[in-house]
Amino acid sequence: MSPRVYLSLGSNLGDRAGNLRRAIAALPGKGIAVKRASSFYETEPVDYLEQPWFINAVLEAGTALEPREVLGVLRGIEAEMGSRKEFPGGPRVVDLDLLLYGREVVETPEVRVPHPRMHLRRFVLEPLAEIAPGARHPVLGRTAAELLARVADHSVVRKFISASEGSRRGAP
């Protein structure tokens, strides 16, 4: 049985929602089966503030790929879509991250799972708690809902396209 994998998606350049839809559509052909998608959320930038607002979402997926391979798929999709990270936290066409890979903890130079900052970011926790409030952080031992209730990040995160509205419109 494949582990439950949670992925975060973000975009703040071009057709932000369209960029997320394109990234989601690319996953199944690369060995990652999307099970559930959160609503799309419009979020203010964190860290580097002088840039456009983001659209963010979280996916629950299944895969037979190892964490390193999942990360390789995500980086490949980013490259295919023309995303370049000029500097950390800067603007991008699409940013894809591996948040959780079942209950596994992986610490290598290339891969860190769970994502090392997921518990600090409202723009990740809000959509994660929407689709998987009971998803447990394997290091902190808290659920997504518990992490969201305690997060110190008070940046603006507002629903942009609800999951039910999106499914009627072909997104998320």
Mean pLDDT of the chain: 92
pLDDT at position 82: 93
| For helices 67-80 and 16-26, angle between their N-to-C axes, nearest 10 degrees | 130
pLDDT in tens, 59-73: 999 999 999 999 999
Of the candidates 34, 58, 74, the residue with the CA atom closest to the CA atom of residue 83? 74
Q: How many domains does the chain have?
A: 1
Quote the pLDDT of residue 89: 73
Alpha-carbon radius of gyration of the chain: 15
Q: Per-residue pLDDT tens for 94-106?
A: 999 999 999 999 9
**Alpha carbon 113 to its chain's center:** 13
145: in domain? no
CA angle centred on 9, ends 29 and 80, rounded to 5°: 50
* pLDDT (mean) for 137-150: 98
- State the pLDDT confidence band at 167, using cuts at 50, 70 and 90: very low
- pLDDT above 60 (res 172): no
Note the pLDDT of residue 84.
79
Amino acid 165: pLDDT: 65
Structural domain containing residue 27: 4-116+157-163
pLDDT class of 2 with cuts at 50, 70, 90: confident
Look at residue 105 and give its three-state secondary structure.
coil
The model's confidence at residue 37, banded by pLDDT at 50, 70 and 90, is: very high
**Domain assignment of residue 23, yes or no:** yes
